[in-house]
Amino acid sequence: MTNLYGCDVEALRGFLARYDLPAFHASQIYAWLYARRRFDPADWSDLPASLRERLQCDAVFDPGKIVARTTATDGTIKYGISPDGGGTIEAVYMHYDDRVTLCVSSQVGCALDCDFCLTGKMGFVRHLSPGEILGQVAQIQNDRGLGERPFNLVFMGMGEPLHNYDAVLAAFRVLVDPRGFGLSRKRITVSTSGLVPAIEQLAAEPRRPRLAVSLNATTDETRERIMPINRKYPLARLLEACREYTTTTGERITFEYVLLDGVNVADDDLERLAEMTRSLAVKVNLIPFNPVPDRLPYRPPSRQRVLQIRDELLRRDVPASIRWSRGTEARAACGQLATEATR
Ligand code: SF4
């Protein structure tokens, strides 16, 4: 049976019409799936009993199942989720004093093979469907009892979201739909390793999430070493695409910069980073690397150096902040998501 979780109103209408069922019920079903997050037609009290019975027989509404929870001492929870299409993906719940942030996956594994990233070491397994992306959000919302509470959502889990462009944008449209999840688009950020054509495509969308670019190096030589995608889209081309993006959309980009000791944190790097950002509407997010002993040959610079880097950038008028790791011991931190089976 087809899994209808992830369908928009149009697709639900099409399904109902195909089965000779009244299509105007599509928007009620849509509200149950995404605004109320109840997945069993038996609970859909505003639908006629006969329709609920038909739906139970003829369709599946499966957002995937939570199969594991690992809680770190800072309250960060890493979820293992088994999506309808198979495999296991990971998503993370982070709770701060004033906000909640969910980090979701867009693919099982990743094709881009960044050298500092555990997901990259898994290789690419498959793209997730819109329903498998939305299912992570819905299941964590329900599990944490978030109710109607707004939260931030980042596509920084497993996978390169812009490599799975259509599914991520389809999920985004349901997330920002007031009849769906009802999130403000400004709360949603997609992070890319620098897929230039997809950045250009995103700039042309009528509605789009915020964009973060995982920069991580200031020379092609270093970037190619740690991010093979740079061979296809070198820094000059990426920066040009970023410039176009900020001009076309009027929106600021975030440059993510994972700090790798001995690789990208020399004074020359800071000089070049400041130069790159000078005429761009960007802010820089510094991310001290989360070490994965025995698996990845990198370590973060000292805490003192991290603070110094931030201060140096601020002194050069670059808006810079530090994203200290959360959930490190649950392996829920950036670059640490890879399913146990693959490890
Ligand atoms: S950092 Fe992102 S793009 Fe690079 S391998 Fe990891 S998941 Fe893929």
Is 117's C-beta closer than 6 angstroms to any atom of ligand 1?
A: yes
CA 271, CA 318: separation in Å to the nearest integer? 11
Q: Looking at the CA of residue 113, tell me the nearest atom of ligand 1.
A: 5
Is 109's C-beta closer than 6 angstroms to any atom of ligand 1?
A: no
Q: Looking at the CA of residue 107, tell me the nearest atom of ligand 1.
A: 7
- Active-site residue among 110, 114, 242, 334? 334
Give whole-number Cα distances, 243 to 30, 70, 203, 272, in Å. 38, 40, 11, 16
Strand partners, 211: 190
Q: What is the CA radius of gyration of the chain?
A: 21
Question: What does pTM read for this prediction?
Answer: 0.94
- Active-site residue among 90, 132, 160, 256? 90
Q: Are 255 and 194 spatial neighbours (Cβ–Cβ below 8 Å)?
A: no
CA 245, CA 28: separation in Å to the nearest integer? 37
Q: Are 334 and 322 spatial neighbours (Cβ–Cβ below 8 Å)?
A: no
- H or E stretch covering 221: helix 220-226
Q: Is 329 helix (H, G, I), strand (E, B) or coil?
A: helix
Tens digit of pLDDT per residue, the chain (343 long)? Answer: 889 999 999 999 999 998 888 989 999 999 999 999 999 999 999 999 999 999 999 999 999 999 999 999 999 999 999 998 888 999 999 998 889 999 999 999 999 999 999 899 989 999 999 999 999 999 999 999 999 899 999 999 999 999 999 999 999 999 999 999 999 999 999 999 999 999 999 999 999 999 999 999 999 999 999 999 999 999 999 999 999 999 999 999 999 999 999 999 999 999 999 999 988 999 999 999 988 888 899 999 999 999 999 999 999 999 999 998 877 665 655 555 665 444 3
Is 290's C-beta closer than 6 angstroms to any atom of ligand 1?
A: no
Q: Which domains does the chain have, with CATH numbers?
A: 9-58 (1.10.150.530), 65-330 (3.20.20.70)
Q: For this structure, is 200 an active site residue?
A: no
Q: Are 129 and 60 spatial neighbours (Cβ–Cβ below 8 Å)?
A: no
CA 218, CA 196: separation in Å to the nearest integer? 17
Q: Is 322 helix (H, G, I), strand (E, B) or coil?
A: strand
Is 120's C-beta closer than 6 angstroms to any atom of ligand 1?
A: yes
Q: For this structure, is 334 an active site residue?
A: yes
